Amino acid sequence: MAFEPSLSASGLRPHFSADAMSIADSLPSVNFGFEDLRERMARFTMRFDEFIENGRKRVLEERNQFRMNVTELQGKQGLDDTFDRNADLPRLQRTNACASATSRSRR
């Protein structure tokens, strides 16, 4: 079958000259408020970035405070253990002395 230009779809389209108005030109102009939207989005972005930055700072401060508290507790726990052992030392010495005296008296 041979190509028939008269049956082509392009033959059905109207040909516009450069001077003819397009359909878009005949539509009324509509203001969608893109400038307002762009400005509102920019303000939101600034507020959101500030919110995120403040959140990160707060988390960092809380983490540092937690670490300081843990370190302080570990330090106190280590000192408490040392003091407990030192406080128990005289009692242990007395107990050992009594045990030694008792064992000597049994001999």
**Is 3 domain-assigned?**
no
pLDDT score at 83: 54
pLDDT score at 79: 67
Spatial contact of 5 and 11, defined as CB atoms under 8 Å apart: yes
pLDDT per residue over 46-57, tens digit each? 999 999 999 999
**Is 9 domain-assigned?**
no
**Is 64 domain-assigned?**
yes
pLDDT score at 26: 84
Cβ burial 11-48 (10 Å sphere, 16+ → b, else e): eeeeeeeeeeeeeeeeeeeeeeeeeeeeeeeeeeeeee
Q: What share of the chain is helix, strand, coil (3-state, %, to 5)?
A: 80, 0, 20
**Is 67 domain-assigned?**
yes
pLDDT score at 32: 81
**Is 32 domain-assigned?**
no
**Is 7 domain-assigned?**
no
Six token digits for residue 45: 């972005």
Structurally, the chain folds into a number of domains equal to: 1
Stated pTM of the model? 0.43
pLDDT score at 23: 85
Rg (alpha carbons) of the chain, rounded to whole number: 45
Residue type, 62: E
pLDDT score at 88: 56
Domain that includes residue 93, residue range: 38-107
Total residue length of the chain: 107
User: What are the average pLDDT values for consecutive 10-residue runs of the chain, which has 107 residues?
Assistant: 55 56 81 90 98 98 96 82 56 58 55
**Is 19 domain-assigned?**
no
Residue type, 7: L
**Is 85 domain-assigned?**
yes
